[in-house]
Amino acid sequence: MAVDFEGRTTTYAQLSSRVACMASALRKLHLKEGDRVALLSQNSDRFVEFLYAVWWAGGVVNPIDIRWSEWEIVRALDDCQTRILLVDGMSESMVSRLADCSEHLVTVIYAGDGHVPSGMFSYEQLIQESKPGADIRRSGDQLAAIFYSSGSRESAKGIMLSHANLMSSVLGGLSNWLQRKILAYTLRPCSIRPPRCLCSR
């Protein structure tokens, strides 16, 4: 099993197929290599799939902070010229206002459950109606994501990370995790000896 979210389970084979199909759907929606795609959604299985699908199709992800105001969201969308936006049930109510204010947003994909709001594409329908597409296979030095971050008094600024940057971050975190696990195993209670007290006269 690759993903388990609120009763929806996905195997690795299913995940690969769904990612490839969504990547194909994104190309049908005129996504070109290097185009920015935003995610305004809570964590979910579809969030994971869509993230990989954007990279599979050659796009650049722009994860949006769900706690931001509409003005902050529009600013981040337009600053990196985002054309495609993924939303869920929590954020779909602000889509019409975002679309009216944004200069570049043209396509919205709804990844929530239930009825698909007017003017949006159904996440599941896009997958069902698409065949798996080939992975673009962008190189490590090409742009993968733009993360917006700021201090308490400044507007958020885009931080550009390559695929190699992201891989290094993941491997670094994995290395730290493994070191802690190995240390915890090596220093298990039965192997720990209290230090001797050395006294001088």
Domains of the chain: 3-162 (3.40.50.980)
Instruction: Give the three-state DSSP class for 61.
Output: strand
44-48, 62-66, 173-177: least confidently modelled range:
173-177
Nearest Cα neighbor of 3 from 198, 154, 112, 13 is: 13
> How much is the pLDDT for 200?
39
pLDDT for 149 equals: 84
The model's pLDDT over 110-162, given as tens digits with 9 standing for 90+, comes to: 999 989 999 999 999 999 999 999 999 999 999 999 999 875 667 788 999 99
pTM as predicted: 0.82
- pLDDT averaged over every residue in the chain: 87
For residue 157, what pLDDT is reported? 87
User: Residue 162's Cα: distance from chain center in Å?
Assistant: 14
Distance CA 2, CA 65 (A): 25
